[in-house]
Amino acid sequence: MDFLELAKARYSVRSFKPSQITDGELERILEAGRVSPSACNRQPFKVYVVKSEEKLKALKEVCICTFDAPQILVICYDKNQAWQNRLDEGYHSGETDAAIFCTHMMLEAFELGIGSCWVGYFNSDAVKEALGLESRLTVSAIMPIGYPADDAVPARGHLSIKDKNETVEII
């Protein structure tokens, strides 16, 4: 499928089969993130692959949006490694770089027939504590991944896309 078809077809999966994806599929997904662009190629992101029952349970206790996925990616960044914009004090690229990293993995997952969901409804410090993550990192996104359940469908609003005139202006 071409890229635009892939981007339009991908949706947030919130219902998964219990089986974990293969190591080869996981490696492809992680590689897609690894080669994603970042400001000045600083690559301030880090992903944790949560697969153990113990860690999945701990994550579920601090994030209600895990959707019983058999594995979950926790995408983080280190703002001290991110590019700092000298022209806009306080701006760093960490959140943006992590978002691009996450997007690349989501699209590769979908290309492989693997569902994912971008989750931002959590407390970063609570997630770090529950999983024992490095304190210097900020959790940017949680991404449950796995094979979509047979009854998985896009959310009602998935196809509700603003008109181009609302999001694009040529000046």
Average of pLDDT values for 114-141?
97
Residue 53 lies in a domain: yes
Q: What's the CA angle centered on 3, arms 37 and 40, to 5 degrees?
A: 10
Instruction: Please indicate, yes or no, if residue 14 is contained in any of the structural domains.
Output: no
Burial of 110 (0-12, 13-18, 19+ CB in 10 A): buried
d(CA 97, CA 61): 27
Does the residue 156 lie in any domain? no
Query: b or e along 13-35 (b: 16 or more beta carbons within 10 Å of the residue's beta carbon)?
Result: bbbbbeebbeeebbebbbebbee
**pLDDT above 90 (res 6):** yes
Q: What residue numbers bound the domain in which 56 lies? A: 19-148
> Which range among 95-99, 115-119, 163-167 shows the weakest confidence by mean pLDDT?
163-167
| pLDDT at 159 exceeding the cut of 90 | no
Residue 155 located in a structural domain: no
Residue-level pLDDT at 96: 96
CB atoms within 10 A of CB 12: 17
Quick one: tokens of 29? 């997904």
Q: How far is it, in rounded angstroms, from Cα 94 to Cα 167?
A: 24
- What pLDDT does 58 receive? 98
pLDDT at 170: 92
Q: Has residue 157 got a pLDDT over 90?
A: no
Q: Residue 161's pLDDT band (boundaries 50, 70, 90)?
A: confident
Instruction: Count the domains in the chain.
Output: 1
pLDDT for the residue numbered 10: 94
CATH code (residue 110): 3.40.109.10
Q: Residue 158: what pLDDT? A: 78
Q: Is residue 164 part of a domain?
A: no
In a domain, 64, yes or no: yes
State mean pLDDT over 3-26: 95
- Average model confidence (pLDDT) across the chain: 95
Q: For residue 113, tell me if it sits in a domain.
A: yes
What is the pLDDT at residue 28?
A: 98
Is residue 119 assigned to a domain? yes
Tens of pLDDT, residue by residue over 16-64, are: 999 999 999 999 999 999 999 999 999 999 999 999 999 999 999 999 9
